Chain A
Amino acid sequence: MVVRWRTNENTDSVVAYGDDPTSLTNVAASSTTTGEHAVRIDGLAAETRYYYAIGSSTAALVGADDDHFFTTAPQAGAARPTRIWVLGDSGTANDNARSVRDAYESFTGSRGTDLWLMLGDNAYSDGTDDEYQRAVFDMYPDTLRNAVLWPTLGNHDGHSADSATQTGPYYDIFTLPTAAEAGGVPSGTEAYYAFDYANVHFVCLDSYDSNPDPNGPMMTWMENDLAATTQPWIVAFWHHPPYSKGSHDSDSEGGLEDMREFALPILESYGVDLVLSGHSHSYERSMLLNGHYGRSGTLTGSMMIDSGDGREGGDGAYLKPGSTTEGAVYIVAGSSGKTSSAPLDHPAMYISLLELGSVVLDVDDARLEATFLDDAGSERDTFTIRKD
């Protein structure tokens, strides 16, 4: 676990932690004098809530109370109920983002969040430090305190960040795995990475600023990572959607086409279950698909493994038992900060909505439930994938 904070005066860094907020008996520290504090805590037990306080060797800053805690991840492979909050293009720092946040916080209540994903364009318009301050740190202070945030780079974040050098605010702000610190296979870069949480393997790609060629380092890494994972569930995420007829068109924009043509065949051959993207400012959710790597007009019936709604109260959940592993659901969830009008008529989509909102994923053993929660707190779409 890495705890990060910033101070307006340079000091050393101390995190005190323990299982009782009134008695934080363990300490992790760095003697480096800095205003950008990042303290890595090793030797933590899995699935354990730790309370913490941050500060320096001379003064505590904040914490040692019921609000400052984190819960460590379960062992990789352990089936545990897991709630994942997914935000896409949330970086507007305005009332839209606030209403989406409030709707989720009301929805999840005391259940809380195990981990959360940001699908890129996390801070408009250019991903500057100041924009990150307003769009992320001022916007989600409670969730940031308690749950690990896993981001991917959007095109707007990429205006001020460079994946090749891993520099710029996006790379300065986040500490992301390069050496498989949280599971998976080492990528050697923060631009793309993998991690495990319970029985889910997450793969994060950089669709904006890393070479998407099939023989390039990112795809080579991904294939090796997927070949090595033993996790039952695979969730992949990146910014540019492989299928969209939202404010971006996957039939005519190179970045989107590249990811569809290069990433999807690898992911699908290894049985990816869910792919999350943003970029288009809408919610678009596919049927259970396999093998659709061309433009929208090339979609055929055989590529639709299940064209139903995926709802247990409707056409039935999407089924992927061990004997049948084909099929993934593709979600564009780029409406957490704004909506932009568009045709929304991609034939791969079961449902397309021009509504503000976020996605909530609940994974429990052999079952994954997804919900699109709008900014008023209404559940506007749900589906289930089952592997039992």
Chain B
Amino acid sequence: MRTTWQIGVTTFLAVLVPASIALGHGDVHERIAELNEEIEQHPSDAALYVRRGSLYALDESWAQALADYESADRIDPRLSNIDFLKARVLVELEENERAAVLLDSFLSSEPERADGYLVRARAHVALGQIDEGTDDYSRAIALFERPAPRYYLERARALIDAGRVDEALAGLREAVADLGPLASLVELAVEEEEKRGHCEEALRWADLLSPTLRHSPRWRAIAGNLAHQLGQASRAEDEYRKGLAAIDALPQARQGTEAMVAMRAQLTSRLETLAPSLSTEAASGFPTDLGGQGLALAILVALGILVVRVRK
């Protein structure tokens, strides 16, 4: 046996990355110019149109890309991937209905193509067909060996935009289970929980983050704000103070950055805002700023004491 790095290009690339079919040398515009000449010499070669179309797509020249794919399709209707390529460009051109129809056909013959479901998901969502879109996102996610965070986020945002926050959050939980508690996933979940007033749930999401991130000044501030909204002034104070301590522990080079200066100002200001709540909380022994919720909690504790006393 000997070491070797000499293995040829594997065939799966052509399947998974159809836009990159046999690209030649040089930059996109030079390569398009080369293909223009080749197409002039071989106007019936469908593969040349596919290659040029893929280059136009790389260049985000969507109309030209579509025209080339359609030319290729006319010349050789047996091209297996062409419906997918056309649909992908149609989504960029916001012709989502046409894209969805093409993808229905494409996926019926290639049901394992994750990227096909992904593009159709985007088309469905753009058409307001949220159920179909989220189903397709889920299929794509299941089929991708290593799904990217962005697919889960796209699905969640589609559901949020449709007012289906519970489902969006369930999808984000699935994402955290699959990918780990990534900042992008947790941040969206926290935002949505906070928007609907579920600050305790938002804090639970925040606590999923890695200690490095959860203990950063940024997340101390977020957690403090959530605790404050819950009327838990002491908890908020603890988060804010730890946030300030985290800034103090940074090297000088980090402490003086615009972001950290702003963060210090925010944490300091929040602590000042908290001061009256903290003194009331200290005097009463109960969290303040709870409104009816605080009162209910106080009564419940009092009842507990009463029950214990009666039983004695």
Residues of chain A having any CB pair with chain B under 8 Å? 5-9, 11, 35, 54, 56, 59, 61-62, 124-126, 128-130, 133, 137-138, 159-169, 179-180, 185-189, 191, 210-211, 216-217, 220-221, 223-233, 254, 268-271, 320-326, 387
Contact = CB atoms under 8 A, between A and B. Distances in A.
Contacts of B183: 185-186, 220-221, 224-225
B187 A224 contact: yes
B253 interface: yes
Given A126-B23, A133-B5, A387 B16 contact: no
A59 B250 contact: no
A254 B150 contact: no
A59 B8 contact: no
Contacts of A159: 17, 20, 23, 58
Interface stretch (B40-48, B72-80, B141-149, B297-305): B141-149
Contacts of B210: 180, 185-186
A7 B254 contact: no
B9 A179 contact: no
B144 A165 contact: yes
18 contacts: A5-B3, A56-B1, A59-B1, A61-B1, A125-B24, A159-B23, A160-B9, A164-B118, A164-B144, A164-B148, A165-B16, A165-B146, A188-B180, A189-B149, A228-B216, A233-B253, A269-B258, A270-B254
B10 A129 contact: yes
A320 B253 contact: yes
A330 B20 CA distance: 31
A interface SS class = loop
B108 interface: no
Contact of A325 (B16, B216, B257, B263): B257
B16 A164 contact: no
B71 to A, nearest CB: 22
Contacts of B26: 125
Interface in B39-98: 58, 60
B190 to A, nearest CB: 12
B284 interface: no
Nearest to A290: B258
A227 to B, nearest CB: 4
Given A5-B3, A8-B2, A130-B8, A322 B252 contact: yes
Given A186-B180, A188-B182, A322 B251 contact: yes
Contacts of B254: 229-232, 270-271, 325
A174 to B, nearest CB: 14
Nearest to B178: A188
A167 B16 contact: yes
A237 to B, nearest CB: 19
Contact of B150 (A160, A217, A227, A326): A217
Nearest to A190: B146
Top 5 closest A-B pairs, CB basis? Answer: A322-B252, A271-B257, A224-B183, A227-B218, A228-B216
A133 to B, nearest CB: 5
Interface in B93-132: 114-115, 118
A333 B287 CA distance: 57
A62 B1 CA distance: 11
